[in-house]
Amino acid sequence: MDEFAVATGLTGTAPPRRYLWTDAFAVCNFLGMYRESGEDNDLDLALQLVDQVHHILGRHRQDDSRQGWISGLAEEEGERHPTRGGLRIGKEFPERRTHESFEARVEWDRDGQYFHYLTQWMHALHRVGQEMGQPVFHQWAVELAQTAHARFTWSDSPGGPQRLVWKMSIDLGRVLVPSMGQHDSLDALLAYLELRPGTILDSEICEARALCADAQWETDDALGIGALLTGISRLAHMITRYRTPEAALMARLVAAARVSLDAYTHADALAARVESRLAFRELGLAIGLHAIDRVEPSPMLGEGVNEAIEALSYHRPLSSRIDAFWSAPAHRQSHSWTAHRDINSVMLATSLLPGGYLGS
């Protein structure tokens, strides 16, 4: 994490280089380090990173003719509400212009806003608010949730079925990729439930529940499986701590995770050569397996769920295998690691010290 801070301009003299997904995990890592060490410097780095993200990804790019907050708010108002316009991804190239045709390979490297990145930042702000006991972080997360849900929720016809589109323009005025991510509806519901005090976000939660109703979450992708497992852990915490009425959803998630893990282990993807592996995707799975370890059995989780979660724990050795593989210096010299060094490094740190991301 120290190397990441220097390389991305959080500390040292390098110009800041912010990327929303990576930075969301990094904020949580610094919080976890603070909880372990008690050193104020770790907490300072978490807060400094939040500030950098808001002032870089919450504002237009330097190569954009537009200036200021992407929300369109005046300077002082934007300082008070830095997430009200969403947050840019932080991709290398500018977003696709209205006259440019869609090319899938090129689009991957273009800026814009991703819904599932925004939900990660909601979680990061939630974790900072928990650690700091300051309501402003919760306020920023809620404002981000309200904006993201309103602008990413889409229907092809009035009154037609809704979906969450994959990618929007920086100003949230144009759909750049209209398809819905497989787990976006789940990301939405978990983020909103985590943030809700009283009746706030009730309409967003209702719509996210409807989107989840017919969702299919089974996957053989390591990162996607990790998201399912982490989601189970977060939902279990909300059910047992706050009596969130989501036992039916929990049963569906556990069933999907079990099918997915069985398919993944049968394919033996971890036996592939290092150059054909993506560390951050595998580390997402390891983080999810660490999360499952934190689920305490409870009758509130629903009939048969405790036993099913215990069955998921059968795959626990995969997390140690993944952590050990990517902790080996030789494997971190491979092109597959160095091509994604920032996100790989941060997610390895998360897997080795998951408490900051997963919370208490």
pLDDT in tens, 93-133: 999 999 999 999 999 999 999 999 999 999 999 999 999 99
Task: pLDDT band for 42, please (50, 70, 90 cuts).
Answer: very high
pLDDT in tens, 207-235: 999 999 989 999 999 999 999 999 999 99
For residue 305, the enclosing domain spans: 216-360
On whether both 195 and 274 belong to a single domain, the answer is: no
* Domain end marker among 173, 193, 213: 213
Which CATH number goes with the domain that contains 172?
Answer: 1.50.10.10
On whether both 246 and 264 belong to a single domain, the answer is: yes
pLDDT at 196: 84
| Separation between Cα atoms, residue 40 and residue 53, nearest integer Å | 20
Range with lowest mean pLDDT among 76-85, 153-162, 214-223, 342-351: 153-162
On whether both 39 and 186 belong to a single domain, the answer is: yes
On whether both 245 and 206 belong to a single domain, the answer is: no
On whether both 205 and 308 belong to a single domain, the answer is: no
pTM for this one?
0.97
On whether both 248 and 359 belong to a single domain, the answer is: yes
pLDDT at 156: 82
Give one DSSP letter per residue of 201-241, joined into a string. Answer: THHHHHHHHHHHHT-------HHHHHHHHHHHHHHHHHHHH
pLDDT in tens, 151-164: 999 988 887 889 99
* Domain end marker among 168, 197, 213: 213
pLDDT at 199: 77
* Average confidence score pLDDT of the chain: 96
For CA atoms 337, 257, 186, 177, give the dihedral sign. Answer: positive
Q: Is the pLDDT of residue 198 over 80?
A: no
Number of domains in the chain: 2
Range with lowest mean pLDDT among 67-76, 94-103, 154-163, 167-176: 154-163
Q: Which residues contact 74 (CB under 8 A, 6 or more apart)?
A: none
